[in-house]
């Protein structure tokens, strides 16, 4: 069927756009659109070509994989093409894939309509080909366009998980191993932190970082990037043979020195595939590497051969993609929020877009330094990223899409909530409102923190109630909590007289507290629960903490110069001291801590508590140790002095045994106390 002129032009436009994206992705390592946008364009072109087959030409992006090789490297022609995978985005897509497999196999290999599949996480990295001759690595190449790649032999030799010589025996005379080179999350974070420190370009995600690292002309740079490789198949095999299944082939490669994915699993049918997809999706954020889906392959190699290929993908494999973690959208505006500590944070208001499984309309921009680094303007098209429960963030500005009416972002000189001056201390990236407890935004958050369980532990004073009480102007500071009347509380939404009585009772009980809890409740910057306890144990009274200078504070264990300056600055503010006096006046009290250095028998020693204790809670045991000067850590290391092991102690106990660390059971610990 001949295509209308409009359709022909549309196809040309789509092909040009896809080729441009291929170039930016594969050649420049600087994509301007997220994967999901690229997939949309590709699927649109495939749909048109399916309807008008006469439009299909060899150079169409649908007929090849990837882009042209980088000119800086020697080109390699793949003896066996490195193809891509078709995608599934839903359970229905997976069911359709399975039905196609069974339909093509008929009674051969699909007994009772059941096919065995190999399941693996789809690593988000760069596909590579490794050629071995007589067990020696002789060439490494990128996939490139599937037919021709780039010779990156010197760079792949720097990846520790790639064997330079195969282990064991029995491997073919000539063997091509295919896999994914990727950058672990920890290495990616370290790389971007260093780039930020040295004012260099940041990578958008670990995949782009791995691509950029592999395409370094200096192998020493690649060697410093901590790349890893995981194999997923074989290509050319000469002078030897494998077993009958894909999974056994991978286990064989593993014996010869290759890493295979520990999450790999063989399942019996499509329901097993869907179950595996769900389980990997749930643990995705816990994995040390990025994945963007799951790959399913027919396990029987003879059946793979029988099923064959289409133009750019095998019929016997499919990638079941996760919801996109990156999306393209537009910045409508940049607003500024004020946090509990007065931090003024820019937030991008976006055209709503579905990403990472939810609809996102806001994304954090952190501070003005981040806005300047991104080069962001209001009206820009941007790539946003949301991984798991992480707050969405803008990772890249697509400058080529910038409209003529885009405008710069101006940081406010005055607080957007209370109109106090916004100040930025030297050496700090964050600007802050100087309004302190007078700023309504800070007031709400300060009260929520004050009432929290590890602070004053005021049961029944939830976030919404705090906001309502502040909005009604019943509370202007934390001291006003203790002046609330039954009528004021009962007049709030969903607060009956009984609820009001319960809250007033909780407020009365909270007046009897501990010094460490009170210090923590004040919300001093950088003073968490542990530091508050350390200060209480070191000084004994609030007055001594209030009057301590920086030098005195620095003498306290684990108090550094930043924390010391925040403490001194907090107590130098007259309004902070006024509120403390108001709290004391309404009856908030605590016993002073007896400071007796002779009782600090475990000063500087680190303990770890694990397992279930029957005679006290682990929190109580921690309190006892802290009172004796000990540090209490959550993990065992060579610096650990002693492990307190309760019932059902697990890996921490084994690690302590391996390291030869002193181990004490609960009864021995109680006897010691």
Q: Which is the catalytic residue, given 46, 51, 122, 514?
A: 122
* DSSP-assigned beta bridge partners for residue 136: 133, 165
C-alpha–C-alpha distance, residues 23 and 18, integer Å: 9
Closest Cα partner for 101 from 273, 280, 234? 273
C-alpha–C-alpha distance, residues 595 and 575, integer Å: 29
Instruction: Tell the residue number behind the tokens 């801590």, with chain if given.
Output: 593
- Going by their DSSP bridges, the two strands 631-633 and 662-665 should be labelled as unpaired
- Going by their DSSP bridges, the two strands 640-645 and 662-665 should be labelled as parallel
C-alpha–C-alpha distance, residues 539 and 535, integer Å: 6
What is the spatial order of strands in the sheet that 606-610 belongs to? 631-633, 606-610, 640-645, 662-665
C-alpha–C-alpha distance, residues 72 and 170, integer Å: 37
Phi/psi at 321 (nearest 5 deg)? -80, 150
C-alpha–C-alpha distance, residues 530 and 634, integer Å: 13
C-alpha–C-alpha distance, residues 566 and 570, integer Å: 6
Query: Hey, is 667 helix, strand or coil?
Result: helix
Based on the residue annotation, tell me whether 122 is a catalytic residue of this protein: yes
Instruction: Tell the residue number behind the tokens 């003024």, with chain if given.
Output: 344
Q: How far is CA 500 from CA 24, 452, 468, 493, 546, in A?
A: 62, 18, 14, 11, 34
- Residue 377 · residue 409 · CB < 8 Å: yes
DSSP H or E run through 281: helix 270-283
- Going by their DSSP bridges, the two strands 640-645 and 606-610 should be labelled as parallel
End-to-end CA distance of the chain: 89
Q: What would the DSSP string read from start to end of 370-415? A: HHHHHT--BT-EEEEE--TTSPPEEEEE-GGG--TT-B-----SB-
- Residue 463 · residue 569 · CB < 8 Å: no
What is the spatial order of strands in the sheet that 265-267 belongs to? 87-88, 317-321, 291-298, 117-123, 265-267
Gyration radius (Cα) of the chain, Å: 31
C-alpha–C-alpha distance, residues 122 and 289, integer Å: 10
Residue 251 CA to chain centroid, in angstroms? 30
Instruction: Tell the residue number behind the tokens 């040009």, with chain if given.
Output: 16
Instruction: Tell the residue number behind the tokens 């684990």, with chain if given.
Output: 558
Neighbour tally for 321: CB within 10 Å: 19
What is the token pair recorded at 561?
A: 């110069």
Exposed e or buried b per residue across 571-592, where buried means at least 16 C-beta atoms within 10 angstroms of its C-beta: beeeebeebbebbeeeebebee
- Going by their DSSP bridges, the two strands 422-423 and 393-397 should be labelled as unpaired
Query: Hey, is 631 helix, strand or coil?
Result: strand
Closest Cα partner for 214 from 198, 201, 206, 225? 225
Instruction: Tell the residue number behind the tokens 């133009």, with chain if given.
Output: 311
Q: Which residues are catalytic?
A: 122
């Amino acid at each position: 069927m001949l295509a209308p002129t409009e359709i022909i032009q549309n196809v040309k436009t789509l092909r040009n756009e896809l080729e441009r994206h291929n170039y930016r992705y594969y050649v420049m390592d600087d994509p301007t659109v997220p994967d999901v946008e690229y997939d949309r364009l590709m699927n649109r072109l495939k749909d048109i070509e399916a309807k008008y087959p006469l439009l299909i030409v060899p150079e169409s992006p649908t007929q090849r994989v990837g882009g042209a090789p980088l000119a800086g490297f020697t080109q390699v022609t793949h003896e066996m093409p490195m193809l891509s995978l078709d995608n599934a985005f839903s359970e229905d897509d997976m069911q359709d894939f399975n039905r196609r497999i069974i339909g093509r196999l008929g009674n051969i290999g699909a007994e009772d309509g059941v096919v065995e599949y190999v399941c693996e996480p789809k690593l988000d990295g760069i596909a590579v080909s490794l050629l071995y001759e007589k067990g020696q690595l002789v060439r490494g190449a990128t996939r490139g366009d599937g037919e021709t790649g780039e010779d990156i032999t010197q760079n792949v030799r720097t990846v520790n998980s790639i064997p330079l010589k195969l282990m064991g025996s029995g491997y073919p005379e000539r063997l091509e191993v295919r896999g994914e080179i990727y950058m672990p999350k920890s290495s990616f974070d370290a790389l971007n932190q260093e780039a930020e420190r040295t004012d260099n370009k940041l990578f958008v995600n670990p995949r782009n970082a791995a691509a950029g690292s592999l395409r370094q002309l200096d192998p020493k740079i690649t060697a410093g990037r901590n790349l890893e490789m995981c194999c997923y198949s074989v290509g050319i095999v000469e002078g030897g043979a494998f077993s009958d299944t894909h999974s056994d082939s991978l286990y064989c490669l593993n014996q010869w020195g290759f890493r295979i994915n520990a999450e790999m699993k063989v399942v019996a049918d499509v329901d097993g595939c869907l179950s595996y997809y769900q389980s990997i999706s749930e643990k995705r954020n816990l994995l040390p590497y990025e994945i963007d889906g799951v790959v399913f392959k027919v396990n029987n190699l003879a059946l793979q051969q029988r099923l064959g290929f289409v133009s750019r993908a095998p019929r016997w494999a499919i990638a079941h993609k996760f919801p996109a973690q990156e999306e393209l959208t537009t910045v409508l505006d940049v607003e500024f929020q004020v946090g509990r500590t007065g931090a003024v944070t820019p937030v991008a208001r976006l055209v709503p877009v579905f990403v990472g499984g939810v609809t996102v309309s806001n994304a954090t921009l952190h501070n003005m330094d981040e806005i300047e680094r991104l080069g962001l303007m209001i009206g820009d098209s941007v790539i946003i990223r949301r991984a798991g429960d992480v707050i969405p963030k803008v990772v890249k500005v697509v400058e080529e899409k910038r409209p003529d009416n885009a405008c710069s972002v101006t940081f406010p000189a005055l607080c957007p909530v209370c109109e106090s001056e916004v100040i930025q201390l030297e050496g700090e990236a964050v600007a802050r409102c100087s309004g302190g407890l007078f700023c309504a935004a800070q007031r709400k958050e300060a009260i929520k923190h004050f009432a929290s369980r590890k602070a004053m532990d005021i049961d029944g004073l939830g976030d919404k109630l705090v906001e309502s009480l502040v909005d009604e102007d019943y509370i202007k500071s934390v001291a006003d909590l203790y002046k609330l009347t039954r009528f004021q509380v009962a007049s709030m939404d969903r607060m009956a007289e009984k609820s009001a009585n319960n809250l007033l009772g909780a407020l009365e009980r909270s007046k009897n507290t501990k010094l460490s809890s009170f210090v923590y409740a004040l919300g001093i910057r950088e003073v968490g629960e542990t530091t508050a306890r350390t200060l209480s144990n070191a000084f004994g009274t609030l007055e001594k903490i209030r009057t301590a200078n920086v030098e005195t504070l620095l003498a306290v264990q684990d108090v550094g110069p930043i924390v010391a300056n925040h403490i001194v600055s907090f107590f130098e503010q007259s309004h902070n001291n006024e509120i403390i006096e108001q709290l004391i006046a309404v009856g908030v009290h605590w016993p002073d801590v007896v400071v007796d250095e002779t009782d600090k028998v475990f000063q500087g020693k680190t303990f770890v508590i694990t397992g279930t204790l029957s005679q006290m809670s682990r929190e109580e045991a921690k309190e006892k140790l802290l009172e004796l000067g000990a540090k209490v850590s959550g993990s065992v290391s060579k610096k650990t002095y002693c492990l307190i092991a309760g019932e059902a102690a697990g890996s921490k106990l084994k690690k302590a045994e391996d390291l030869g660390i002193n181990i004490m059971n609960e009864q021995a610990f109680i006897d010691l106390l």
